[in-house]
Amino acid sequence: MKPATNHAMPQKLIREPTAAAKRHKTWNRMKRFIPLYLLFLPVLAYYAIFHYAPMTGVVIAFKHYTFMDGIFGSRWAGLAHFRRFIENGDFWVIFRNTLLLAFYRILLGFPAPILFALLVHEMRFTKWKRFFQTVSYLPHFVSWVVVYALLYNFFSESGLINLLLKSSVGHTFEFLSSTEYYRMMFVGSAIWKEIGWSAIIFLAALTRVDPDMIEASAIDGANRWQRLWHVTLPSIRSVISIMFVLSLGGILSVSFEQTLVMINPQVAPVAEVIDYYVYRIGLLNTNNYSYATAVGLFRSAIALVLVLVANYVSKKIDEEGAIW
């Protein structure tokens, strides 16, 4: 008889990978993407140098900054500059102007590129679709100085629109020098300039809409409006939510360049916004850098709160419609 054999295998020792082995494994994974990292490096350097490094200067909002003492050598002021801004008689006027212009731009300017993208997407002729897309992009690359020159030629006292109005109704309107029409001109020109460029992201999202769903709804008897409302828009809902949250981040950053070229003494009571106020107080006046920085930081803090609230609400409504 053969002696009984022990079939039990010897227990193997399981060794934990050493730190050197982990680093080697990580490097093997990363080296495949070195070309992509090199492509990303200029972008990283740009944001690090021009966006993050200057943030150290925000500390002067809490100091009595002087050029001789420098950023870190100046005396502390605490919240004195913030109290000065809030207690200033111009605070509520400037804050109200900023909120109103931002509200109108969100109310009218945010849906405009969505509607434009839907109209372009529904076009059947590809050549006309490309033509309208290209033409709508062009104003984005035009300077605000040129845009205001066009506005002046059309809406000034001797402009084309006023000449037509004078011949038809007998009198002209002060479109560019009246507080009554300033907000309309401001928001309207901003929409005209950016509607095509802002529609790009929505046009890209519309290409992801499932054509089978649209065809199935058409077979079920849905007309074009019903297909648009019940199929197309729900398919890009998450993109709309994300873009809305991002737009709220700049709700108080009403276009400084546009304000700078359109403001004049006649419309200043309704045209001066926080960004222009920072420019006027901080750069046009002497040694008001700390105060101007405090005003800018105040605006950024409110914008951050709005983004956080909007992101929280969007996440509750749609899990995919939030940024984080």
Claim to verify: residue 189 and residue 43 sit in the same structural domain = no
- For the chain, residues with pLDDT lower than 50 are 1-2, 8-14
Outline where the chain has alpha helix (H): 19-30, 34-47, 70-73, 80-87, 91-104, 111-121, 126-137, 144-155, 160-169, 182-198, 200-206, 211-219, 224-227, 233-235, 237-249, 256-262, 268-271, 274-279, 289-317
Q: Answer whether residue 12 is part of any domain.
A: no
Claim to verify: residue 53 and residue 114 sit in the same structural domain = no
Q: Answer whether residue 83 is part of any domain.
A: no
Claim to verify: residue 61 and residue 100 sit in the same structural domain = no
What pLDDT is stored for residue 26 in this prediction?
Answer: 78
Q: Do the Cβ atoms of 239 and 201 come closer than 8 Å?
A: yes
Claim to verify: residue 71 and residue 162 sit in the same structural domain = no
Claim to verify: residue 74 and residue 184 sit in the same structural domain = no
Claim to verify: residue 45 and residue 134 sit in the same structural domain = no
Q: Which of 43, 78, 113 is the last residue of a domain?
A: 78
Whole-model pTM: value is 0.79
Q: What six digits make up the tokens of 54?
A: 């200057």
Q: Answer whether residue 7 is part of any domain.
A: no
Claim to verify: residue 123 and residue 249 sit in the same structural domain = yes
Provide the number of structural domains found in the chain: 2
Q: Answer whether residue 208 is part of any domain.
A: yes
The domain containing residue 39 runs over which residues? Answer: 19-78
Read off the pLDDT of residues 224-269 as tens digits, 9 standing for 90 and up. 888 888 888 888 888 888 888 888 777 777 788 999 999 999 999 9
What pLDDT is stored for residue 283 in this prediction?
Answer: 78
Read off the pLDDT of residues 55-97 as tens digits, 9 standing for 90 and up. 888 899 999 888 888 888 889 988 999 998 888 888 889 989 9
Claim to verify: residue 40 and residue 67 sit in the same structural domain = yes
What pLDDT is stored for residue 1 in this prediction?
Answer: 46
Q: Answer whether residue 8 is part of any domain.
A: no
Q: Which of 78, 112, 128 is the last residue of a domain?
A: 78
Q: Answer whether residue 116 is part of any domain.
A: yes
Claim to verify: residue 242 and residue 285 sit in the same structural domain = yes
State which H helix or E strand residue 63 sits in: strand 63-64
In sign, the C-alpha dihedral spanning 31, 36, 39, 45 is negative
Q: Answer whether residue 84 is part of any domain.
A: no
CATH of the domain at 214: 1.10.3720.10
Claim to verify: residue 42 and residue 155 sit in the same structural domain = no
Claim to verify: residue 47 and residue 131 sit in the same structural domain = no
Q: Answer whether residue 194 is part of any domain.
A: yes
What pLDDT is stored for residue 15 in this prediction?
Answer: 53
Claim to verify: residue 256 and residue 211 sit in the same structural domain = yes
Q: What six digits make up the tokens of 276?
A: 């222009």
State which H helix or E strand residue 76 sits in: strand 75-76
Q: Which of 78, 97, 124 is the last residue of a domain?
A: 78
